[in-house]
Amino acid sequence: MRIAFNSFGFLDESVCVNASQNRNRSNFQCHFFYSFLYYFVQKYTKKSELTQNEKSFPYLCQNLKSSNNIIMQTTKQYIEANKERFLEELFGLIRIPSISSESAHKPDMVRCAEYWRDAILAAGADKAEVMPTEGNPIVYGEKTIDPKLPTVLVYGHYDVMPVDPIDLWHTDPFEPVIKDGKIWARGADDDKGQSFMHAKAFETMVKTNTLPCNVKFMLEGEEEIGSGSLSKWIEEYKDLVKADVILVSDTSMIATDVPSITTGLRGLAYWEIEVTGPNADLHSGLFGGSVANPLNTLCEMIAKCMDGNNHITIPHFYDDVVESTPHERELLNMAPYNEDDYKKSVGVKALRGEEGYTKIERVGIRPTFDLCGMWGGYTGEGSKTVLPSKAYAKLSCRLVPNQDHEKIAELVKDYFEKNAPDYVTVKVTPLHGGQAYGCPIDLPAYKAAEAAYMDTYGKQPIPMRSGGSIPIIARFEEVLGIKSILMGFGLGEDAIHSPNENYRLDHFYKGIETIIAFYQHFAEGGEVA
């Protein structure tokens, strides 16, 4: 850091000397350092003016441990002063029912995008706009303080999952309620609550003059349905979103007192299956036992996809799976885990999964095959004795690195269609998918995230492999050539994608603090592309 002194050895108010020449040292060490020192001493000595001696660099440093401490204290004060407003603005975002999978909510997707645009502008962005796509719009915003400084690209999504089954909700899904220290609402965690932390962290840094690098925002409305529009959009606008790292909060941590950074995401493949039997619904008494029931047949076909050890039986499914080494599995299982607590959190008496692997391994490094939904026949009130003409199911597979989602999609499609019995016809439609993602833990940006958690949680975060999928993350690396840092603050108990989704208030505020700390560490030592 280059500091300017006058002839008397006092800190000159033109404190920075060619600050922008040092790309990794960032503006905050020069542009803001003096102002923070000055502010701190004024505040805590209750003086509006400092004496020449009090302006001296040695004097100021006697009162402060480091500029980072000043930044943390200053930003904490801003967060505390504005925490209720932050929350109310988040609630405004949550109240918009931005369900991307339901066409009736198309106008809500636009409203939600506009809300995000306005929030980014109010937070201090130089510009922000809603950019149309073939699907739902993308929100882009940016603030450039010096082109020579590193740039962080913030990614999030404003679309949410459907609320079904609505009768299992304890509150209105789109009217957030605070209870037991948590926000209860659809999107409270995934991903409105988590992505909004970034808007408020950004605002805090802008308003307190602590922003150490350039920031870009990119928010989409199709993550829950495969990010089709964004995948094309980044191809067209890759120069616009050029950055040094992508920062994402759309994952979870091990426990509220055990911080963790997600270093891997599984890939995803998803299908809809249609099974057709007779040409119309038939009377179950007159035709049952002689004509195949498509629902029965579909159940039988799906059941054959797993053996007694919960191993997937579809031929060649595991061909590209890279088995983890014993050492890798040992490291993975070092994460704290209590099986009884886990079972209690999800309300089950026992766990089930692929034999030969622990729970942590099953959700981190192994592929899965799941029936996500099934319907057909009569489901209304009372009884109607029919053999349905058609039966339907939604299937998904979580994939691990080296498995190609397109290859798996065709593999499963061919398996069902070629193995369909003669008494039904089967149609399989691949819906969406994405590749798995991995982040090395020696990446400078990862080290910055690690240091940030140390600042706010007082302990080193554990690297973990997530069982979830964010397909666009791997696509970012493919198209933009940059890594993503996954700083999630959700918990497994937050019930994302389920009724009664929730997000802890303390995680919301602690997340804002940790994101701010990331920026400071990244600007100090983050590698610039």
Q: Dump pLDDT digits (tens) for 269-283.
A: 999 999 999 999 999
The verdict on 226 and 371 lying in the same domain is no
Domain that holds residue 59: 3-64
Average pLDDT value over all residues in the chain: 88
C-alpha distances in Å from residue 393, one per residue of 28, 301, 376 = 55, 11, 9
CA dihedral of 483, 219, 250, 524, whole degrees rounded to 10? 50
Q: What is the pLDDT of residue 66?
A: 55
3 state SS for 382-444? CCCCEECCEEEEEEEEEECCCCCHHHHHHHHHHHHHHCCCCCCEEEEEEEEEECCEECCCCCH
Beta bridge partners of 153: 216, 246
Q: What is the pLDDT of residue 51?
A: 53
Residue 346 lies in a domain: no
Taking only the tens place, the pLDDT of each residue in 73-108 is 999 999 999 999 999 999 999 999 999 999 999 999
The verdict on 160 and 86 lying in the same domain is yes
Q: For residue 149, count other CB atoms closer than 10 A to its CB.
A: 24
Residues 6+ apart with CB under 8 A from 116: 93, 139, 158, 199, 219
Taking only the tens place, the pLDDT of each residue in 478-512 is 999 999 999 999 998 999 999 999 999 999 999 99
The verdict on 163 and 98 lying in the same domain is yes
Residue 345 lies in a domain: no
Residue 327 lies in a domain: no
Residues 6+ apart with CB under 8 A from 36: 67, 70, 71, 74, 210
Q: How many domains in the chain? A: 3
* 447 neighbors 525 (Cβ within 8 angstroms): yes
Cα 180–chain centre separation:
24
Beta bridge partners of 264: 438, 465
The verdict on 461 and 380 lying in the same domain is no
Q: For residue 203, count other CB atoms closer than 10 A to its CB.
A: 24
Taking only the tens place, the pLDDT of each residue in 450-487 is 999 999 999 999 988 888 888 899 999 999 999 999 99
The verdict on 93 and 161 lying in the same domain is yes
| Weakest-pLDDT range from 45-54, 195-204, 450-459 | 45-54
Residue 441 has pLDDT above 70, yes or no: yes
Residue 279 lies in a domain: yes
Q: What is the pLDDT of residue 4?
A: 38
Residue 494 lies in a domain: yes
The verdict on 371 and 482 lying in the same domain is no
| Weakest-pLDDT range from 135-139, 154-158, 197-201, 333-337 | 333-337
The domain boundary, picked from 401, 430, 459, lies at 430
**Pairing status of strand 267-276 against strand 370-376:** unpaired
The verdict on 282 and 146 lying in the same domain is no
**SS3 state of residue 201:** helix
Q: How far apart are the first and last CA of the chain?
A: 21
Domain containing residue 376: CATH number = 3.30.70.360
Run of H or E residues at 371: strand 370-376
The verdict on 465 and 421 lying in the same domain is no
The domain boundary, picked from 11, 35, 64, lies at 64
Residues 6+ apart with CB under 8 A from 127: 121, 141, 142
Residue 64, token pair as written in the block: 């402060």
Task: Give the residue among 309, 306, 304 at the shortest CA–CA distance from 357.
Answer: 309
Residue 209 lies in a domain: yes
Residue 357 has pLDDT above 70, yes or no: yes
CA 472, 475, 481: angle at the middle one, nearest 5? 130
Q: What is the pLDDT of residue 140?
A: 98
Residue 1 has pLDDT above 50, yes or no: no
* 436 neighbors 403 (Cβ within 8 angstroms): yes
* Residue whose pair of structure tokens reads 């280059």 in the numeric block: 2
Q: For residue 441, count other CB atoms closer than 10 A to its CB.
A: 11
Full-model pTM = 0.75
Residue 526 has pLDDT above 60, yes or no: no
DSSP E strand boundaries for 52-207: 127-131, 138-143, 151-157, 177-179, 182-184
Task: Give the residue among 239, 195, 200, 210 at the shortest CA–CA distance from 480.
Answer: 239
CA dihedral of 245, 250, 255, 257, whole degrees rounded to 10? 50
Residue 172 lies in a domain: yes
pLDDT band, very low/low/confident/very high, at 324 (cuts 50, 70, 90): confident
The domain boundary, picked from 402, 430, 458, lies at 430
The verdict on 38 and 156 lying in the same domain is no
Q: What is the pLDDT of residue 14?
A: 37
C-alpha distances in Å from residue 309, one per residue of 107, 270, 353, 398, 455 = 46, 23, 8, 18, 44
pLDDT band, very low/low/confident/very high, at 432 (cuts 50, 70, 90): confident
Question: Positive or negative CA dihedral for 417, 421, 425, 431?
Answer: negative
Residue 241 has pLDDT above 70, yes or no: yes
Residue 361 lies in a domain: no
Run of H or E residues at 228: helix 228-236
C-alpha distances in Å from residue 281, one per residue of 97, 276, 286, 388, 424 = 36, 11, 12, 5, 14
The verdict on 241 and 379 lying in the same domain is no
The verdict on 473 and 386 lying in the same domain is no
The verdict on 21 and 100 lying in the same domain is no
Q: Quick one: residue 161, left, alpha or beta (phi over 0 = left, psi -120 to 50 = alpha)?
A: beta
Domain containing residue 474: CATH number = 3.40.630.10
| Weakest-pLDDT range from 234-238, 246-250, 251-255 | 251-255
Q: What is the pLDDT of residue 337?
A: 86
Q: What is the pLDDT of residue 469?
A: 85
Residues 6+ apart with CB under 8 A from 410: 430
